[in-house]
Structure 1
Amino acid sequence: MTNVAQLMSLNPVSVSPDDSLAVVKQIFDHVKFHHLLVVEDSVLLGVLSDRDLFKALSPYLGTAAETPRDLASLNKKAHQVMRRKPVTLQGQANVKDAVHLFNTEGVSCIVVVDNQNRPQGILSWRDIIRALDRTDKRAAQ
């Protein structure tokens, strides 16, 4: 059985808990992934998704109706918006464990950590679908 370490994306991008949402927005504006890890002293504290960011920012940013109050939403800190108890697995966990967590926890990513809660990678449901697609293609050959 495949374990999550074989499917996870390595080197997930992280921010510190005191980074502003302006920093987080800058990252999300230039990448194709949807989750940032919030890490301090190499230890996972939380996860911040692009949807979390979207909900935390004023909808008037960048519009003619923008006010100083709207701009101030960019000054919030990552720790104010992050999910504080992220769903995690260790690398040797199997894919069935991950699928179970996706179905029961309602998350779109699982952080793969070592036994000291240091991030090793990140697993999304898309990683699992990609692996299944590769398996199907190999079986069809």
Structure 2
Amino acid sequence: MTHRNKLVTTMADASLASLRDVFAKARFQHVPVIDNTNRIVGIVSVKDYFRELSPVMDSASDPTISVFLRSRKVHQVMVSPVITITEHTSVKQAAALLLQHNISCLPVIDEFKHLLGLVSWKDILRAALHKPATA
């Protein structure tokens, strides 16, 4: 798990157990999955995490759940390929992509597909509400 400027990332071969604290304590809804060159290869959401966990959650003991989470890897539940934007994408274009694909965040990448950040629907809404007044 890597933390850069509040951006938390993970690797495809990390266990789902590594995401437990992120989703429980940090209140992040999405964690980008990167390779060793910081290129985005997928994204895992809190929904993906709980969807994977739900079949064992009710009937299994805590130790069994822990073993399950350690045995499952991020690449088994991540979404790939990922719909992305660049830092030059307009707020309107980003909003249209979120609606068109029924997703809640967009990773921002550079021309080499290196991850720069994430834009969520909340960021889009915040930007729309804080538009400067025009004369």
Q: TM-score range by the shorter chain?
A: 0.7 to 0.9
Deviations 1:78-114 (A, max 9, x none): 0110001111011111112111101111110000000
2:14 equivalent in structure 1: 19
Q: 1:66 aligns with which of 50, 60, 71?
A: 60
> Are the counterparts in 2 of residues 58 and 70 from structure 1 also a CA contact under 8 Å?
no
Which SS does the other structure have where 1:112 is aligned? strand
Query: Shift of residue 72 of structure 1?
Result: 3.7
What is the TM-score of this pair, normalised by structure 2?
Answer: 0.83
Deviations 1:22-63 (A, max 9, x none): 1011211111220001111211000000000000014544x6
Over the residues paired in the alignment, what is the CA RMSD in angstroms? 1.9
Partner of 1:78: 74
- Counterpart of 1:119 (choices 98, 115, 118) is 115
Aligned to 2:34, the other structure's residue is in SS state strand
Q: Secondary structure at the match of 1:48?
A: strand
SS in 1 for 2:130: helix
Native 8 Å contact 1:60 1:70 kept in 2: yes
Alignment of 1:1-141 (within 5 A): 11-41=6-36, 42-61=38-57, 65-67=59-61, 70-74=65-69, 75-135=71-131, 139=133
Identity, in percent, stands at: 32
TM-superposed CA distance for 1:73, in Å, is 2.7
Unaligned runs of 5+ in 1: 1-9
